[in-house]
Structures are given as structure tokens and as C-alpha cells.
Amino acid sequence: MSNIPADLHYAKSHEWLRLAGDGTALVGITDYAQSSLGDITFVQLPKVGATLVAGATFGVVESVKAASDLYLPATGVVLAVNPALDVSPEILNRDPYGEAWMLKLKLDGGAPAQLLDAAAYARHVG
């Protein structure tokens, strides 16, 4: 069973969103996603300042098994990208909900209604 923290919002495409109280949020991939991909070898993320729309592709993660597009769970402006992923993309395999966050967004609104809570995401991944 994958680790599915209760305090996050989840996209059906296996990205998570952690809301902060200041109108920002962190974005990453789920434990289920990193486990399905296997050993992650490369991550491509957008530039700081990019304005992105919920559901749009925001990057790519590559592993020894496959390459997979990343889809943004909420609309916003990229405030930061995690520089550790350039040097050590394998941290996604160790700590997908902590050290391996991908983006910090300034949200345009809150979490979209189509995002799943932890229980719904658990049902989604079966």
C-alpha cells in the first residue's frame, strides 16, 4: 500500500498539492507514482515565474522504466523549483512528500474541486 498523507490534495494523474495558509502551495508526485516509475534518474521542471494552468503539463520525470509527463494540480505562478532535484532526482524515490517537493506555486484561487482527498485517492489507486 502506498503512503497517502491525509493533509494533501491529489490529482488522478498522481501529483499532490500541499496548501499553505499564505496563498501558496507545494506540488510533487505521489508515493504511488514514484513506486510505479522505479528508480528516478532525471526531472525537468518549469522556470520560476512561469504561469501555469491546472491540468497542463509542467514537466517530465524519467526513470529506468519510463518517462512520464507531470500535470499541474492547480493554476498558479511558479515561485520556486526544488534545486535538489537537478542534482539528486533519486530523492523522489526516498521522500516524495517532503524533501522531493517539485514546485512552489502562488495559487490563482485555491485547490481545484476535482482534486481528491486521501481516502478518494486511495480508492483511485486501488
- Domain spanning 9-109: CATH 2.40.50.100: yes
Domain boundaries, the chain: 9-109
CA–CA dist 78, 12 (Å, integer): 21
Summarize pLDDT for 18-45 with one digit per residue, the tens: 999 899 999 999 999 999 999 999 999 9
Summarize pLDDT for 39-92 with one digit per residue, the tens: 999 999 999 999 999 999 999 999 998 999 999 999 999 999 999 999 999 999
CB atoms within 10 A of CB 36: 16
Terminal CA-CA length for the chain: 9
**Which residues in 13-26 are b (16+ Cβ under 10 Å) and which e?**
bbbbbbbeeeebbb
Q: What is the pTM assigned to this prediction?
A: 0.94
CA–CA dist 70, 48 (Å, integer): 16
Give strand pairing partners of 78. 105
